[in-house]
Amino acid sequence: MKRYGAAIVSAWAATMAIPAAAQIAPLPPPYVGAYQPQGVDEIGIWREDDEAERKLAASTLVIQDEKLTFYVRRVLCDTVGTDRCKSVRIYILREPTFNATMVANGTMRVYSGLLLRLRNEAELGAILGHEFGHYEQRHSVNDFKARRAATDILMWGALLASMAPSYDVRRSYGNLELSIYGGFFRYNRDQEREADLLGIGYLNKSALRPHAASDVWRNVMGEIEASARVKGLKKPNFNAIAFTASHPPEAERAAMMAALADPAGRSREDGADRYREAMAAWLPIFLEDQVKLNDFGASEYLIQSLAESGWTATLWFARGELYRLRGHPRDLVNAAEFYQSAVQLDPALANAHRGLGLSLLKTARPSEGQASLRKYLELKPEASDAGMIRLMLPKEGAPN
């Protein structure tokens, strides 16, 4: 009996496990060159995208850093090939969410929250390649047509059902609705799988390590779970991150990605050092944006995972800010410790002295706290809050 059960389980596993069925992702089809929209639907969609891009180019949220944009473009070109990447315009937006999108006319939006969460070029290539896959397969026009067909059928269905208002007709209308929406969402997920397949195909062909794609998903799942744990939620909400909301279930996806990656590519480099260097100037800003979102679990997870390659003053400082902003008495003691580690690594980091001073003041260590605040003013006399901080220090010569 036991053996019979095991046989069923293994048969089920054989049908479910994508690795057994799927081979590694095929190489992408040959590139056909610049594409022009065809038919009234596609021309309309492109026109809307052109208009949106005009607005986007003038948006204050776009990060105007030529070097950073050039770097992200280079990683895209390394992944999909130089001929393909010519058709793409990249805009990096300062928005602390894990997301990237690409639309039919070749506008790619990359959010700063995505850049913060990735750790190397191979991971960035995996996400950009996935988005490029949607673009190359022209998913947005097909998606539009599928949605229109589905809502058309439902409209006619509703009209006909209202002409024969008996219970049975209404019930079958309800069934129709379920099956059409079910089909439509399945269609969306199939598009995602197709984009995944293409994305890994590009990576297999490139000089980057294709296994990074599944690492991205494992990390995202870890972060969502950490966030839920700290909030005391029973179930992590995987839809909380925009990029994952319409995508296939995370665990299935990570397994599929690992199976599609070319085993021969495992030893390839992933460009972690180059990635860290390119992000160095922006890391403190992206970290600040994340820490101040008040999602303690996710921010702590992110800082810890960035610290896997070594703790820096920037990371200690961000962790200190995270704990001080939550502000439980136990957090303030930890925060002071983290700020101390930051100033040990970089004594010129003025804001770490400020955080240290404030944390010490609040944990009943005023004289040490005042010394740190003095150091802060010394390093940054023009600080925007210098006037307030000066008030918190005793006058020269006066007793404490």
Provide the binding-site residues for other proteins, judged by CB under 8 A.
Answer: 59-61, 94-97, 112-113, 231-233, 237, 289, 292-295, 325-327, 329, 332, 358, 361-362, 384-385, 387-389, 391-392
For 326-359, the DSSP string reads: H--HHHHHHHHHHHHHHHHH-TT-HHHHHHHHHH
State the Cα–Cα distance between residues 34 and 31, nearest whole angstrom. Answer: 9
Helix (H, G, I), strand (E, B) or coil at 90: strand
State the Cα–Cα distance between residues 400 and 391, nearest whole angstrom. Answer: 13
- By C-beta, is 94 or 276 nearer to other proteins? 94
CB of 386: closest distance to other proteins in angstroms?
A: 9
CB of 250: closest distance to other proteins in angstroms?
A: 19
CB of 59: closest distance to other proteins in angstroms?
A: 5
CB of 294: closest distance to other proteins in angstroms?
A: 4
- By C-beta, is 132 or 286 nearer to other proteins? 286
The answer to whether the beta carbons of residues 102 and 134 sit under 8 Å apart is yes
- Enter the tokens of residue 131: 């988005």
- By C-beta, is 270 or 295 nearer to other proteins? 295
Structure-token match 């150091």, residue found: 375
**β-pairing, 107-111 with 100-102?**
antiparallel
State the Cα–Cα distance between residues 112 and 92, nearest whole angstrom. Answer: 7
- By C-beta, is 102 or 291 nearer to other proteins? 291
CB of 60: closest distance to other proteins in angstroms?
A: 5
- By C-beta, is 39 or 327 nearer to other proteins? 327
- By C-beta, is 103 or 361 nearer to other proteins? 361
- Residue 356, number of CB atoms within 10 A of its CB: 29
State the Cα–Cα distance between residues 91 and 106, nearest whole angstrom. Answer: 11
The answer to whether the beta carbons of residues 317 and 355 sit under 8 Å apart is yes
CB of 388: closest distance to other proteins in angstroms?
A: 4
CB of 291: closest distance to other proteins in angstroms?
A: 9
Rounded CA Rg of the chain: 26
- By C-beta, is 147 or 229 nearer to other proteins? 229
- Residue 76, number of CB atoms within 10 A of its CB: 25
CB of 240: closest distance to other proteins in angstroms?
A: 8
In this structure, which amino acid lies at residue 179?
S
State the Cα–Cα distance between residues 254 and 262, nearest whole angstrom. Answer: 15
For 232-301, the DSSP string reads: T-SS--GGGSHHHHTSSPHHHHHHHHHHHS-GGGGGS---HHHHHHHHTTTHHHHHHHHHTT--HHHHHH
- By C-beta, is 205 or 362 nearer to other proteins? 362
CB of 122: closest distance to other proteins in angstroms?
A: 25
CB of 93: closest distance to other proteins in angstroms?
A: 8
Helix (H, G, I), strand (E, B) or coil at 27: coil
- By C-beta, is 151 or 239 nearer to other proteins? 239
- Enter the tokens of residue 119: 């750790």
- By C-beta, is 209 or 362 nearer to other proteins? 362
Structure-token match 């208009």, residue found: 51
